[in-house]
Every structure is written in C-alpha cells, then in structure tokens.
Chain A
Amino acid sequence: MQLGFNKSKRAADLATRTGGDSLFDLRCGQAAILEYLDVPEDLGRRLMELGFFPGGDVVAAGCAPGGDPRVFRVDGSEIALRAETARLLKIKPGSIRTVSAPKSNKSLP
C-alpha cells in the first residue's frame, strides 16, 4: 500500500510537469475552468453526463477524511472523484480563483 502511494505520487509529479494543472491542484474553496478531459472516451462521456464539460466551472467543495476522494461542485451537483481521476481533468492555466461561499452554481448559460 505504501508502495502504491509512492507510485501514484510519482505519477502526479509527472502529470503536473507534463500536463499542466488539473482539478487535483485546486484547494478547497477554489474554482477553475475545465479545459479538457485527458481520459478515454467512455469515461469522458460519463464525466460529462455528470457535468464535467470543457469550458465549465468546477469548484473544489471538499474531500473525504484523509483527503481522497475529493468532492467537486459542478453544474449544480456534487461529485466525488479519486485523486487519480481528478489529475486527468485539466484546467485552463490561470483560471484558478477563490470562491469563499459560492453564491451561484451556474457554470454554463
């Protein structure tokens, strides 16, 4: 298990170096605009059905005790994803902003 953790951490480092920022890099209470989903098509469809659309707003709403999985508020609902999946959802560079108490959950018109 310890081994698995290290491995995923290395993967994370790799991802941040090569693929830019992802939802994984959002701290609780921060929002960002999703740029693209770096996932297989099938998983991509599933995520879109749940509201993860390129160009949409995603708010990091919280996480499970221990920090993983994370909870994201997207398109009006709260969806939990493991860190390994959150790393694959890339955000637009520089789009991170802090929303202390989200007043609106509208992401797309």
Chain B
Amino acid sequence: MNAGKACHDVAGEPSDSSILDSSLRAGQHYVALVGPPNAGKTTLFNRLTGLRQKVANFPGVTVEYHVGKVRTSVGREVFLIDLPGIYSLQPRSEDEEVTRDVLNGSKPDLGRPDSVVLILDATNLHRHLLLAVPILNLGLPTLIVLNMADDLAARGGSVDPAALAAQLGAPVALISAARGEGVEKVQRFLEGSIARPAMEPKRVELPILQDLPGCRRWAGEVGQESSYNAPAPPLWTRRLDGVFLHSLLGPLVFLFVVIAVFQTIFSGAQPLMDGVESLTAASGNWLGSALPDGLFRGFIIDGIWAGVGSVLVFLPQILLLFLFIGILEDSGYLARAALIADRTMSLVGLQGKAFIPLLSAYACAVPAIMATRTIENKRDRLATILIAPFMTCSARLPIYLLVIAAFIPDQPLLGPLLGTQTAAMLGLYVLGFAAAIATAQLLRSTVLRRQQSVFILELPPYRMPNVRSLLLRLYDRAVVFLKRAGTVILLVSACLWILAHLPYENGQPPKLEESYAGQVGHLVEPAIRPLGFDWKIGVGLVTSLAAREVIIGTLGTIYGIENADKDSISLQEALRKDLSPAGAAALLVFFAFAMQCFSTVAVVRRETGSWLWPSVQFFYMTAFAYLAAWGTFILFSR
C-alpha cells in the first residue's frame, strides 16, 4: 500500500548502488529489516533512524530499499535497511525480488547483511511464522520482533516471547513500534549485545520449506508451545468495514472523502499560502533594498526570487495532499479503496491493485510508477505505468490553481463543501482519470491484450495513523520539494532571465519580445496559436517540458521583467490580460494531458528497460494534449 512519493525524486537521486557506497560498507555493520506487508516495518524503521535516512522514504509502498543510520550507545553506527514486504523468499513481483536479492547478498554493493531483524505481526503470529522458516534458514544472526504488542493485548491475545525464542533458537522481542514500546530491545540487538546470543544458538528443527502445509502445522505447534493465544478479530475493523464496504454507503463515503480532501487542499491551504507568499515578498523586498540598483539586482529579484518564490507558494498545498494520502494509507482505508475500485478497474483490463499506484500518481507519477512493482502480472504493470502520468500529479496543482483562481470566481455550489473553484479542480482530476481509463482501454484492445490476472489483496485492520510517521513523511516531501526549487527551478529561472536580457544592443538589454527567450516564444507561437496561447505562454510551455511547475516560475520571471517598471501586478492579473477565458481552458486541458516531466520519462525508461515505451508515451500524451486543448479552445470560443 503505498501512495505517493514525491515528485521527481528519481532522476537526480541515487537509486540503487550509490546509497551505501562500498566505503560505507567497509567495516560497517548492516542489518536487513524484513517482514510481511503490514507488519509495521517502516514504522519501526522510522523509530530507529528518525531523520537519519539516506533515501527519502516514499510514502506507502516501499519499493526501493532505504538505508538509515542508527546511532547506538556504544558509539558504533549501524546501517538499517528497510526492505519491501514479502510473504516468502520466492518472489512473485519485482518488489519482492529486491528483498530476496538483498538477503541473498546478490546486490554487489551491499553483500550479505550482517544480521537480520524479522518483524512479524503478533496479532497474526501463525501465518507470519511461515516467513520465519526461510529467514532462519539463511543462517544469519536474527532478531525476531513481534510487533503490535498493544493491539494483541487490547484484543485479548497473549504470547510468551521467551518460550517462542526457545522454540525458534533466536531472540524474540515483543514491541509496539507505533507507540515506541520495547524499541530499546531492538536497539540493543543492533548494538550487538544480543547479536551473538548468550544462549547457545540451538539447532532447532525447521520444517521443509517446500511443504507449506507442513510449515503451517509447525507454526501452529510453535504457537502452542509459546502459549500463543490468538486475539479476537478486530471488532472495530468489522464495524468500519460494515460502513466503508457497504454497497450504498461505501461508494458514497469514498466520494465524500475524495471531495473533502480536495476542498481542504483548495481552501484550507489558502492562509498558509498567503503566509508563504508574503514571506517571500517581504524577504524579496528586503533583499532588493540591500542590493545596489542595477542589472545584478534585477537578476536576483526579478529573475531568481520571482521564479523560485512563485513555486514555493505551493509548498503548503502539496504537503497537505501528501498528508491526506498518508492518513488514508496508514489508516488502512486505501486497501478498501482498492477493493472498491477493483470491479471498475477490471472493466478496463486493470486490477484493483493498480488503483494504489494510480492514487499515488495523484501526488507524483514517479513513485507511482515505482510502486507498480507490486503488481505481479507484467502486462497489468506496463498498462499501469503507461497511464499513471495522466493522473493529476501535484506538479500540475500550481498551474491549475493559478489559472482557476484567475479565471473562475469562487461561488458556493453545494453549500460550504463544494465551491465553483473546487468543482473546476475536480473536473480536471476527472479529466485526467478519464484519459487514463480511455488509454487503458485502448492498450487493452491493441498492444496489451488481456491476460488472465489474479487479484489477491490483504485487508489490514484499521489503525490510527502514527503522527510521527506522518510528520517524517511530510518532512521528506518538503526537503525534496525545496531541493527542486533550489536546483531545477532556480536554474531554469536564472537561464530564462539571462535569455530574456540578451542580446545586448548599444549596451541596453532588448525588449522582452526581441530577446532570445522572446524569440523562442515567437518560434513556437504559430504552433500554439490555434490553442489560444501567445508567445509568452509559449516560453512557459517550452520550459515546462522539464517539469510542469516550472511554468509558474517562468511566467513569474516573464511578467516580472515585463512589468518591472510599473507597479508590480500579480501573476493572476497579468494572465487575465493576456489569455482569453477559452485560452485559459485550453491551457488547463493541455496541462491535464501532456507529459511534461523529465523525471517521469527517466523512471519509465528505467522500469520498462527500453526507450520504446517512454517515447511512445511522450508522443501519445503530447498529441493527445494538443488535440484536446485545440478542441477545448474551439468549444469555449463559440
């Protein structure tokens, strides 16, 4: 279950090999953290490593392995590796292959882990013990962590960890990662005090791996010997599912959740956004007064500050979206949503599991495409990858928000819940979704004819989302976003400002129209005039090929230059002057469909292993966007 990682972290960031370079590995202790899905691996990982993680831990599905540094009281550093959830060491998805490869030591940079922390759900011990067999067979020092101790007790279950340790020949720690209870036992293991257990590693007899029913009988016996008393079924989960999976209420709740999330993002973020905006404006003014008048000041203020600042404004909104996705995911609702979606998805040849990456794609297509690794069927996976960029990712939010705020007056439609602006926003989300569905249908009837695929989904009990984990996730997202604003967007803004001030004639910068940037805009203008765009939007379209949100910084820079002599007018006003309502609608539609994102192209290339699919996808989406924007412009011009 994993929803959106942040935007675009893939291209520039180390993916596999450089996370732990060999110099780090040399002489360092490293420990693999493994367990079945939903056992609480990532919660424990966050508990132990906090902000000392090497790779952003993408919300939801753990698709890469993430390395965190654990500080120990003995002053020795231990590297902990958070691996994707597995049910066995026989991988069925690429996700599970990562885990198997790390454990077998077939990742050359890592080698074999020094020890293993196997985390199991104490409320589901019998089934989770099945995984203990192959893990203990690895022969590495292993700590068995029984997580969800609080849940076990609350539901009337119990277990004797010492007896279980004797049965398994490995130390056992009963903890609650969400509450932080017993985490010190894991810490001690990591420090090595338990790593070579005082008790002679007893040769316990493990069942034969291939004999699964035999393994299950063994797990039953081990449970009995350890006085395991299975907890009652989670009552609250049954009750909540009675509502959330109800044939009438279920879809209604689903719809309500979606609308409420978007309405909150849209109006709830406003005060925060105003705050960020006045902060960047104030600091820009302060900087401006501190710098000597002249070209350099113009470069800093109108070029860089306007460009970066106009993107920074969207930080609160993007964090809010990630917060909601995080809550839905951690609470267990996302799995129900996948269940509700399965029937609908199967109509277009996808399956319910594709819903989770597709929902993540609402935050960002890059992590979504990596999250498709959990889909076992290759064709299902490719189809999901190909349609994921149609989902409305958070990089589209800035331009949507700007254009909607500039052209649509906010009026209530359905009381306080739904305003006209929210409705327009939802319309754009639906548009992206519809394009994805249509494309899936097209793929299914042409290149990716349907193969029978099996849908199996575990529904975890509902749980209270952990504030700590949510905040860590938001922190990650904020860092990634700020990093982008500080690199890609800063660079594009700076280049653009320079191009807008060249070529010099008689020691004077040219008018914007005659500058290099203006010339590029004029070059593309004939192609985009049918869509109702002028050359200034054209410059924005060219720069936003790198990443969608860059258009905001570009327009900020362009209008900043153009209006440098007048009192600064807001971007909204400037846009209203240059764009007809029909052109605005066409611009929104264009952004809904076009694949303007280098990071996505790069990740599709990586995940599909060839340039074929990203090229097909890029041209298909761009053509789709162009034609749709054209149609929209004609429709709205009448």
B459 lies within 8 A of chain A by Cβ: yes
> Using Cβ atoms and an 8 Å threshold, which residues of chain B touch A65?
245-248, 250-251, 340
CA distance A46 to B224 in the complex (A): 25
In chain A between 18 and 61, which residues have their CB closer than 8 angstroms to a CB of chain B?
42-43, 45-51, 53-55, 61
> Using Cβ atoms and an 8 Å threshold, which residues of chain A touch B216?
48, 53, 108
CA distance A45 to B123 in the complex (A): 22
Whether B212 lies near A45 (C-beta < 8 A) is yes
> Using Cβ atoms and an 8 Å threshold, which residues of chain A touch B88?
45, 49
In angstroms, how far is the closest chain B Cβ from the Cβ of A79?
Answer: 5
Q: Count A interface residues, CB 8 Å.
A: 40
In chain A between 51 and 78, which residues have their CB closer than 8 angstroms to a CB of chain B?
51, 53-55, 61-69, 71, 73, 75-78
Whether B232 lies near A79 (C-beta < 8 A) is no
CA distance A39 to B242 in the complex (A): 31
**The one of B87, B340, B346 that contacts A50, using a Cβ cutoff of 8 Å:** B87
Whether B232 lies near A103 (C-beta < 8 A) is yes
> Using Cβ atoms and an 8 Å threshold, which residues of chain A touch B246?
65
CA distance A53 to B215 in the complex (A): 11
A82 lies within 8 A of chain B by Cβ: yes
CA distance A67 to B88 in the complex (A): 30
Chain B 76-94 interface mask (CB, 8 Å, partner A; 1/0):
0000000000011010100
**The one of B212, B237, B242, B250 that contacts A49, using a Cβ cutoff of 8 Å:** B212
B527 lies within 8 A of chain A by Cβ: no
Whether B123 lies near A82 (C-beta < 8 A) is no
Stretch with Cβ within 8 A of A (4 or more), from B449-457, B491-499, B558-566: B449-457
Whether B457 lies near A80 (C-beta < 8 A) is yes
Whether A82 lies near B127 (C-beta < 8 A) is no
Whether A66 lies near B343 (C-beta < 8 A) is yes
CA distance A74 to B413 in the complex (A): 46
> Using Cβ atoms and an 8 Å threshold, which residues of chain B touch A53?
212-213, 216
A85 lies within 8 A of chain B by Cβ: yes
Q: Which of B125, B212, B347 has the most CB of A within 10 A?
A: B212
Q: Which A positions have Cβ atoms within 8 angstroms of B? A: 1, 42-43, 45-51, 53-55, 61-69, 71, 73, 75-82, 85, 102-106, 108-109
- CB pairs A–B below 8 angstroms (22 shown): A48-B216, A49-B212, A54-B213, A55-B213, A63-B245, A64-B343, A66-B343, A68-B343, A69-B342, A73-B233, A75-B124, A76-B123, A76-B230, A82-B346, A82-B454, A85-B454, A103-B232, A104-B232, A106-B230, A108-B216, A109-B220, A109-B221
Q: Which B positions have Cβ atoms within 8 angstroms of A? A: 87-88, 90, 92, 123-127, 130, 212-213, 216-217, 220-221, 224, 230, 232-233, 237-238, 241-242, 245-248, 250-251, 339-340, 342-343, 346-347, 352, 454-459
